[in-house]
Amino acid sequence: MITPHPHRAVPGSIPKYIISPSKVCINYATIKVYHMKIIIGSESFSPNISGVAIVTENLAHHFAKAGHQVFVFAPSETYKTYTDTRFKDLSVIRFQSIPNPFRKTFRVAFMAQQEIVREYIKIKPDIVHIQDPTSICSILKKTARRHHVPIVAHNHFNLDYVTSYIKVLKIIHPLIHTLLRKYLTRFYNACDAVICPTQTVLQTLSSWGITTPLYAISNGVDIDRFYSWSNPSNFLLKYHIPRSPCVLYVGRLDIDKQIDVFIRSIPFVLKHTQAHFIIAGDGGENKQLHALARALNIDHAIEWLGWIDNASDDLPILYQIASVFVHPSPIETQSIVTLEAMASGLPIVAARAGALPELVTHGENGYLFEPGDATSCGTFITKILGDSTRMHAMRKHSLEKVSSHQIDKSFDTIQTIYETLCARS
């Protein structure tokens, strides 16, 4: 954790940190502030539907708007390397890639090492920020280390995320976990700082024996954007949504998210309320989830909106019209959509697993159910919808809990880490 100095830095100064694995103390030194060249590497970037893609894009746009030169290294959408000109304030370089065999619509930069190194040398970055431990980021880490450039790693990774896609090999999941843990420990110990979105993740990485300084920094949310109110009439007409109590899920429709648990909870809720259900997202399980809803004879109660872009003006209104937000995934390292729902003042019903219990206090701003328990999920949804006083209190508590997750605070802390490492290098 960062121990804050009781006074603000004077203009032209930045805090200089003496970093150890267990403690960080601030020693103020006058250092000339300059605009940095930042390379951000990520295997997942727009237009991918993923939290990592959103975090990477938010981070890149923020530092570009702050006057830094930002270069994003990401997989191409073809088999060729090219510069993506769709981003006005960013330089996005897409490296030749192949389809990801485990995740539809995702790609893996493969056989692009020489091109990545060549672009790196042309840029001569001051700092490298990597969002995952795979191909592009692995090459960036090695190259930055060779050129003595500081490396910040962001851990969005959960071991169960990988094994959720290879259930057929369940017998060797413990072995896969062991191998991944060893690889990640070596990977992060070769970096200069590791950012974790939650204390849950930080404690996990610390238990593995990672000695690189670890920082728990929320992914953050633009509270003003999601707390604002707009007339929803046009939105309701556009998406053909009735004005009944609404239960919402936003995000990927992939196997690790366990959206089938949410869908299986709907028949129970419909026995007790006249609620409507909205699923806004897309992914590899889309067809299977539609089929499940038809098999349960509840497809009429669900609006399938598809993916709504994170930058769309429709997204805050979508949260605004909801009564309850549901997140059944058991492997979240934080959950951006849950932060957005909380900033919109929604009660949360979520799996008691991963880092979600850091955001949801059972009985206070929502309820936690055991992973996979559709009946409990439905019971808690019904409990909130059936008690307006309880719902109002939970809305208030969500707003109170999310207040410490303002995204600008997260960016400020990350910039301090950047400047500190650059000053030391």
pLDDT at 34: 66
- CA 200 vs. chain centroid, Å, equals 14
Query: Pairing mode, if any, of strands 193-196 and 214-216?
Result: parallel
Tens-place pLDDT, residues 280-330 = 999 999 999 999 999 999 999 999 999 999 999 999 999 999 999 999 999
Distance from C-alpha of 80 to C-alpha of 351, rounded to nearest angstrom? 41
In this chain, the answer to whether the domains covering 14-220+406-424 and 223-405 adopt an identical fold is yes
Q: How far is CA 198 from the centre of its chain?
A: 11
Fold of 223-405: Rossmann fold (3.40.50)
pTM of structure: 0.89
Q: Chain-centre distance of CA 272, in angstroms?
A: 34
Cα 250 to Cα 313: distance, rounded to the nearest angstrom: 15
pLDDT band, very low/low/confident/very high, at 407 (cuts 50, 70, 90): very high
Tokens of 149: 């450039």
Question: Domain locations in the chain?
Answer: 14-220+406-424, 223-405
Note the pLDDT tens digit of each residue in 347-380.
Answer: 999 999 999 999 999 999 999 999 999 999 999 9
Torsional sign, CA 88, 93, 98, 99: negative
Task: Calculate the average pLDDT of the chain.
Answer: 90
Q: Which residue has the tokens 């932060």?
A: 339
In CATH, the number for domain 14-220+406-424 is: 3.40.50.2000
Note the pLDDT tens digit of each residue in 3-26.
Answer: 332 222 323 333 333 233 333 443
DSSP state for residue 98 in the 8-state scheme: E
**Strand ranges (E), 255-386:** 276-280, 302-304, 324-327, 348-351, 366-369
When comparing pLDDT for 339 and 5, which is higher?
339
pLDDT single digits (tens) 204-223: 999 999 999 999 999 999 99
